[in-house]
Structure 1
Amino acid sequence: MNTTADIIIASEVRQTRYFLEELLRSIGHNSLKTAVDVADCVRMIERARPKLVIADFETMADMVALLHQVRRKQPHPSNRLPIIAVMGVSTRAAVDAMRDQGATDIIAKPVTIARVKGSLANVLADSRAFITSEGFVGPDRRRFADASYQGPWRRATDKKGGRDGDIFNVDVK
């Protein structure tokens, strides 16, 4: 039995798993596995060693639990696994919460082929540093350059004209 997969799709809703599976197959991603909940997804990550996870859970608590389990409980390099969070609620607070928990990217519903392709392109081209500190584990939350930034430069990688805090290409509500 083949236990590997390039992408794990995690959702407790069967129709969502099927939709995402068919969408990904339609754009050429065929090495897929599906998980029905957080625990199932974590087990699959340990066994299948995927290249990324796309997770769409009904509650934010489940998404936070998945991110926490992967980012803080998994050994390196599994904790660096790219995780795309699919969100029905894309308020600034919700997006910030996913960013602060270590989501690599976010797809705001409604899910479209264009949004999935864009998110996959972002994740695959992502060259951000991976941060491991007491308060945060995940990809660097800063993605874009902001020449007008006036705050303190605290990281060794910071240069004048550094990066700002917006990392997701999501229309917040």
Structure 2
Amino acid sequence: MSTPSANDARFQGRSALVIDDSPLMRQLIRSLLRQFGFSTVDEAADGSAALRQVERHRYDVAICDWMMEPTDGFGFLRALRRHQDPACFGLPVIMVTSVANKSQVLAMRDQGVIEYLVKPISAQKLEQRLVSALTRPRNLIMTDAYSGPDRRRRQDPAYAGPRRRLEDKMAALPWDEGEEDAAIRRATEELPDYAEVLGRDLEKLRGLLAELEAAVEPPVETWRRIFRIAHDISGQAPSFRHPAAAAVGNSLERLLQPILKKPELLRLAANRRLRAVRTHVEALALLLEEGITDTSAETGMLIERLRLAVDRVRREERDGAP
């Protein structure tokens, strides 16, 4: 089985477009692609900018984050697959996401996504998706209902079901940890210390929390900005070896997701929700102050307290709903 290595012959001379509104994640993926041997790696900060890039340049593959602003990965993919230029609508897209639930997978499949890459990003997972996207190309299809790569895997006339399934399982086996750690370490050498990034996110959260506490009726936009920071933390922190912070970010996402879907819930459990946000912010500050990055029994207790705080908000929302 292969291990992540620099200048892989399968990727030499290849070009890629990395699409993410987080400069940090763009840098990480770009560094890994350079290690793999990609000769051209361009960047775009959202789906609209990416579409303009694709119209001007020809890429072998695009690696696109799901959640971006103002145009997310779904919007980019939908526009791409409706493009009149075959070189655009046939571009292989690897979608990066924090959570790949069934409905999300089906929606992306129907828009012609080639592969999924679930965070945290690792050299192993990224290379596997690239090999699949670039060495097993799919036919292009143009119909009234769909334009893009064939959503079915290429059929091999010599296919033997059990043997193929075994190969898929073998491909999923973990690589040597030393090789994987070395690849990520090389990719992050030129990036800022993630603790510094996390510290800046914490200051933003504190400022937004102060806005919430001072406002009589806090606007939905403020809640949305807090959710976005939480989403970035939960998605980015594991790739930079901060799983404890990722757990706090994920809990804060869970707390705020319902009110973004149904803003009318804001009038319910307002005080308890605000206290829960402060608890999450203080938990993140504690991890930074103590230099805690990994999960442990102690961080497990902290996350459980956050879960209980979120559950109390949920119950009050349900009890107050008409």
Q: Could you say which TM-score interval applies, normalised by the shorter chain?
A: 0.7 to 0.9
Q: Paired residue for 2:192? A: none
Structure (1 or 2) with the greater helix fraction: 2
CA drift of 1:144 comes to 7.0
Is structure 2 residue 84 aligned with structure 1 residue 83? no
Equivalent residue, structure 2, for 1:99: 109
Amino acid of the structure 2 residue aligned with 1:10: I
Q: Normalised by the size of structure 2, how large is the TM-score? A: 0.41
- Residue 133 of structure 1 corresponds to 143
C-alpha distance in structure 2 between counterparts of 1:30 and 1:63, whole Å: 24
Cα deviation per residue 1:1-47 (whole Å; 9 max; x = unaligned)? xxxx8111001111111111111112222311100111111111111
Counterpart-to-counterpart distance in 2, 1:89 and 1:136: 25
Q: Give deviations 1:123-144, integer Å, cap 9, x for gaps.
A: 1122432222222222222227
Q: Percent identity?
A: 30
Q: Which amino acid aligns with 2:81?
A: R
In the alignment, the residues of structure 1 paired with residue 84 and residue 92 of structure 2 have an alpha-carbon distance, to the nearest angstrom, of 13
Corresponding residue of 2:167: none
Deviations 1:35-62 (Å, cap 9, x if unpaired)? 0111111111111211111111425971
Who is 1:19 aligned against? 28
Aligned alpha-carbon RMSD (Å): 2.4
- Aligned counterparts of 2:154 and 2:79: Cα–Cα separation in 1: 28
Letter in 1 for 2:135: A
Greater Rg by CA: 2
- Higher RCO (C-alpha under 8 Å, 6+ residues apart): 1
Structure 1 runs of 4+ aligned residues shifted over 6 Å read: none
* Aligned mates of 2:95, 2:47 — CA distance in 1: 13
TM-score where L is the length of structure 1:
0.74
CA contact (8 A) 1:104 1:138 kept: no
Residues of 2 paired with 1:51 and 1:27: CA distance?
14
Give the gaps of 5 or more residues in structure 1: 146-160, 162-168
1:143 corresponds to: 153
Please list, as runs of the form range in 1=range in 2, the aligned pairs for 1:117-128 lying within 5 A after superposition: 117-128=127-138
